[in-house]
Amino acid sequence: GQQVMQIPQYQHVQEGEDFTTYCNSSTTLSNIQWYKQRPGGHPVFLIQLVKSGEVKKQKRLTFQFGEAKKNSSLHITATQTTDVGTYFCAVSGSARQLTFGSGTQLTVLP
């Protein structure tokens, strides 16, 4: 299936600091999705990016899709304790199956 590398694996920030996680692929992606999983919970869909260079915002979250459609990022401005969790990117294979990145586990220190 489609492979995607996600970095960093872990990130600890002080509340109020910014946070960014990145996903990189060696091949061109048709689209990319982002999910958040709270500790002990299940992944919850955040957004899907489809167009080259696309930027979408959800309150303090900014999602970007690279011009070459080979990378994507999720940036959180001024983190809050409610942002704690693991953030995953997910990419689709030829049969529309979704493969998830390894995730970035975010810890926000109060």
Positions in the binding site for other proteins (CB under 8 A)? 1, 30-31, 33, 35, 41-45, 48, 88, 90, 92-93, 95-103
3-class secondary-structure state, position 81 = helix
Q: Which residues contact 40 (CB under 8 A, 6 or more apart)?
A: none
1 vs 16 by CB, closer to other proteins:
1
C-beta atoms surrounding 110 within 10 Å? 7
19 vs 88 by CB, closer to other proteins:
88
- Residue 97 Cβ vs other proteins, minimum distance, rounded to whole Å: 4
- Residue 18 Cβ vs other proteins, minimum distance, rounded to whole Å: 25
Angle (CA) 74 85 100, round 5°: 60
- Residue 53 Cβ vs other proteins, minimum distance, rounded to whole Å: 19
16 vs 41 by CB, closer to other proteins:
41
Dihedral sign for Cα 32, 98, 34, 71, please: negative
